[in-house]
Amino acid sequence: MIKPEQCERLTNKARKTLEEYGLGEVSDLLLASGRWGIRLDVSTIDEYRRTGNSRVGGSPDLPEKMEWPVTQEGVPMTFLAQLNLVDLSPYTPNDGRGSLPERGMLYFFVGVDEPAYNIEHRVIFEPDARHLVKREPEGNTALEQAEFVGHAVTVLPNLEFPTYAYVDSKALSAAAVTQPDVQQEGEADVDLYDRYLDFESHWNHPSSKNWGGMFGYPDGQQPDAEHQALLQIATGEEYGYDEKVCVEKLTAHYSGDRNRALQELEDTLLLLKIDTHDEIGFQWWDCGELQFFIRKADLLAGRFDQTYCSLYSS
């Protein structure tokens, strides 16, 4: 769990950076929408001198008797990452949004990344991260052209701010007229939205080493990635890009309990996002992002087979 002193340092750094971008007057509003999570960066190229470390790309370390996951057509899935939970546990959110087992290995595999929704994948939790062996698939994998270079992973605590689709632009616009510095310049109707987007781009993507994150915000055009994920997980239905209809279907699924449906949406978590990254070789369509979602209840119960995978690309 993220230590209080780490939270304080990151919060103070965020507040200072918000002021530098001219957002000091709305820093409390924006900080309240921040999500604590885990930032994942590449370290050095992994030379496989040991097994069981956190790794992205390359080849996985698996239990000897574990079968390599395959698609419905029997094609080996493509390995994406293995995350040793001992590395992650010091940085899991302390705000109740996400929690992980303290030990074990979490593996991420994917099938063909088309279409961009309900992508075949496997998230596998192995409780014992000892006695693993480096494994190779038998033949080409689902992403047959992929040559992902294995890198060791650096794990860091993260305070992530809402992405383009998730920021409350109306609240920012309303707050603009209360800023004395803005009014003195005769720009009482100024929209802080563009200023915020500059900040978000800098803050949420601070380094070219960053390839992913956990429990933060997904990229997208609309704030409905959780709707798509939960509807598929809970009911098996595809999302029709209508949030109202989706909530109605979820309400019906939860025996007419609308509050339960809304809470389940709130508790649909971004388990992992994997960004396009040149050093590793990840290229999700047009510089997009691969996203894995899980219900909070399933996460707490260790049911990593109940996940959803989608891809966002602008």
pTM reported for the whole predicted model = 0.94
Strand, helix or coil for residue 302: coil
What does the radius of gyration of the chain's CA atoms come to, in whole angstroms? 20
pLDDT value for 132: 97
pLDDT value for 189: 40
Look up tokens 């449906």; give the residue. 261
Contacts of 203 (CB under 8 A, 6+ apart): 14, 17, 161
pLDDT value for 59: 96
Q: DSSP secondary structure string, 166-221?
A: TS-HHHHHHHHTT-HHHHHTT-TT--SHHHHHHHHHHHH---TTEEEEESS----S
pLDDT value for 186: 41
pLDDT value for 181: 54
pLDDT value for 183: 47
pLDDT value for 33: 96
pLDDT along the chain (314 residues), means of 10: 94 97 94 96 96 97 96 96 96 86 96 95 95 93 89 97 94 72 47 91 95 97 97 97 98 98 98 97 96 97 96 94
pLDDT value for 192: 86
pLDDT value for 180: 55
